[in-house]
Chains A and B, each alone.
Chain A
Amino acid sequence: MSYSDELLFDNIDEPNLKSIEVYEQRGGYDELKRVLRELPPETVLNELQASGLRGRGGAGFAMGTKAGFLPKGDMDKYLCCNADESEPGTFKDRELMQKNPHQLIEGMIIASFAAGINKAFIYIRGEYEDQADVLEAAAKEAYDKGYLGENILGSGFGVSLVVHRGAGAYICGEETALLDSLEGKRGNPRLKPPFPANAGLFQGPTLINNVETLSNVAHITKMGGAKYAEIGTEKSTGTKLVSISGCVQKPGNYEIELGTPSRELLFDLAGGPLPGREFKAWFPGGSSSPVLTPAEFDLPYDFDSIAAAGSMLGSGAIIMIDDSVSMVDVALRTAKFYKHESCGKCTPCREGTSWTVKMLQRVEDGLATPMDLDIIESVCDQIMGNCLCVLGDAMAMPVSSMVKKFRPEFEAHIEAARLKRTPLDEATLADELNLAEMATSA
């Protein structure tokens, strides 16, 4: 997709686009006015469904379908925009919110209108302080102009908006943990069902969508759902913001048409590997996606193609790993993150992530045997599918993919690290490990 075809990033760096003046000069909020004047909510919902827009937060569920799950009736209904963006490698929502907050707010108002929602929240991770300031200023501007609040532009429809800051916890990106956190609790995921569409925030009907998903809404109603569906592939419609980071020359967010060959993203947009290096592995959808290898560079970058290759598109975050990096380091760093972020509610996740870290540390230190690699794989197998939310899987999937696909490298590392140890070292470390294990099992 050429630069001029951008939707979400169209004129993204225009000076002060974040202000309502500039946004309106560029036609902003015209679509909201048209929708409220001309369209009944059902038509808007139909357009969203016809667009085929799939959620951009990780799971890829059809947005229009989810909005259609909310019951009719005049009870309080809620929209929660998920701006927790904490999956390692993901940084697209940050750029959208910081540079074009009104695109998100306009999308949220139209989505609320379609689903009969009267109370909206943006749950933004606490670390995004600058971005939350921008959103708060934008929300105030939208209130002052009468785009938020009661009886918007005399239409009889009204929705409120609160920007709510989190305080640092990856798990609060999981939609039900987000709801608990927004209710002022510890962010533990809830058992589903009931699903948020029926019993979500304050037990009321709730729609939860990602920042990028909602930022698409005004574009969809404006161009029409069918027209939007022509962008991308049949089952992965539209454009996607891809966050590319790690060992590349030109890291950053790029807006692409879904279905673009991955190679184009990695080489043409991100500039390929750093001088003198070669790519070895890549996470196609955040650090929780199983790693792929250069053999898969020709995959079209869309939900189904990446899934068919045994991984996932997730949030659209590509992390590149090159030949200067040890896969053991990557696996250990990844596992440590999920161990730290496990909320501790389910045993397989809490214990499994913790033991995987210990075993990988042993691999790193040269205290493991190849049999430990089998145990790591079996622990990962036992985590998958056995937890309340998918955080446990989010560690198990990438770690087991690394051990499987790079097993010779893991084995060589164990041997090399073992040979480097002096016998004295080994005794001390073994002692330390035993002590650490005794301490945790006590």
Chain B
Amino acid sequence: MTREARRFEDTIPQLADTPVPDDLKAWIIDRMEMYPDKKSAIIPCLMAAQKTHGWLSPEAVDQVAAVMKLTPAQLVSVASFYDMFELEPSGNRTIYMCTNISCMLRGADAVMEELERQVGVKNGGVSEDGIFLRNFECLGACDIAPMASVDGHFVGPLTVEDAKTLVEDIRAGREVLAKKQLSRRPVAATLWQNGGRAEGYDVSEGGES
């Protein structure tokens, strides 16, 4: 992979020369006040900027730096530690496919391959219509293994066929795999008493997904 070297300034950008969207600016100022030391707000503020800009572009970093009165170099040194910060251009829809142990045991690798085919990119790539696909470590939802997080919402258990539906749902702007959204799954004891079915959630065999 060729990656252009990016230099981040170690001086604080001036607010006067750095236009910042109003909501982002207000959000950052509020956040800083929640902590005894404003630096605690770095990670949440970078995340807010990433949401606004789609990725941590140099402009995004400069905007946070200008409002927080910190250097871009400091912000990027923090950001580069964390998996969820995108220091390269990213998409506007995100699929994190879990490929850690419990998901691997239930067939995650095959689902990931199918997702790659459906999205049309390899792991870490962004499709032309803006879908970012990458594999991820355990997302804390091994009860629905193999699973994925689509824009922060967890879905599973995924079959290889689900991978196709998942991508179609994203492209059609629909709720993704409506019957497999974790948010509607009851606690295990209840779910399995009812054979894997619940209102709005269905993982029973032959159940629609």
Contacts and interface: CB of A to CB of B under 8 A. Distances in A.
Partners in one complex: yes
Contacts of A128: 140
B149 interface: yes
Contact of A321 (B42, B105, B138, B189): B105
Contacts of B102: 88-89, 245-246, 251, 319
Interface stretch (B20-28, B76-84, B120-128, B158-166): B76-84
A252 interface: yes
Interface in B100-132: 100-102, 104-106
A326 to B, nearest CB: 11
B44 interface: yes
Given A13-B186, A88-B142, A94-B140, A246 B44 contact: no
B47 A269 contact: no
Given A88-B101, A167-B46, A168-B83, A251 B40 contact: no
B137 A86 contact: yes
B81 A186 contact: yes
Given A88-B100, A98-B183, A247-B105, A166 B142 contact: no
B96 A287 contact: no
Sort chain A's interface into a size bin: 35 or more
A186 B77 contact: yes
Contacts, number: 167
B40 to A, nearest CB: 5
B168 to A, nearest CB: 23
B1 interface: no
Contact of A254 (B44, B96, B139, B188): B188
Contact of A86 (B44, B82, B138): B138
Interface stretch (A305-313, A327-335, A403-411): A327-335
B78 A243 contact: no
Contacts of B46: 167
Contact of B187 (A185, A252, A333, A340): A252
B173 interface: no
A169 interface: yes
A252 B105 contact: no
Given A165-B44, A325-B105, A333-B104, A130 B154 contact: yes
Contacts of A194: none
Contacts of B96: 127
Contacts of A185: 39, 78
Nearest to B50: A167
A239 interface: no
Contacts of B39: 183-185
B1 to A, nearest CB: 14
Contact of B192 (A125, A271, A317): A271
A202 interface: yes
Interface string B63-85: 00000000000000111011111
A167 B83 contact: yes
A126 B46 CA distance: 12
Nearest to B39: A184
Contacts of B12: none
A50 B193 CA distance: 36
Contacts of A88: 100-102, 137-138, 142
Nearest to A11: B187
Contacts of B139: 127
A19 to B, nearest CB: 15
A184 B140 contact: no
Contact of A168 (B37, B84, B143, B153): B84
Interface in A74-97: 76, 85-91, 93-95
A222 interface: no
B73 to A, nearest CB: 13
B189 A164 contact: no
A246 B187 contact: no
B141 A167 contact: no
B34 interface: yes
Contacts of B191: 250, 252
B78 A246 contact: no
A181 interface: yes
A7 interface: no
A167 B142 contact: no
Given A88-B102, A167-B83, A271-B192, A245 B44 contact: no
Contacts of B143: 91, 243-245, 251-253
A162 B187 contact: no
Interface in A161-190: 162, 164-170, 181-187
A120 to B, nearest CB: 12
Nearest to B34: A162
A101 B71 CA distance: 36
A325 B85 CA distance: 34
Given A88-B138, A95-B187, A252-B187, A246 B36 contact: no
Nearest to A167: B82
Interface in A221-256: 243-247, 250-254
Nearest to B84: A168
Nearest to A187: B81
A90 B140 CA distance: 6
A119 interface: yes
B41 interface: yes
Interface of B: 34-37, 39-44, 46-47, 77-79, 81-85, 96, 100-102, 104-106, 136-145, 149, 152-154, 183, 186-192
Interface of A: 3, 9, 12-13, 76, 85-91, 93-95, 98-99, 119, 125-130, 162, 164-170, 181-187, 202, 243-247, 250-254, 269, 271, 287, 317, 319-321, 325, 329-330, 333-334, 337, 340-341, 343
Given A246-B142, A319-B101, 19 more contacts: A9-B189, A13-B187, A76-B36, A129-B153, A184-B37, A186-B81, A202-B37, A244-B143, A245-B142, A245-B145, A246-B101, A247-B105, A250-B191, A253-B143, A269-B188, A287-B138, A320-B105, A330-B101, A337-B138
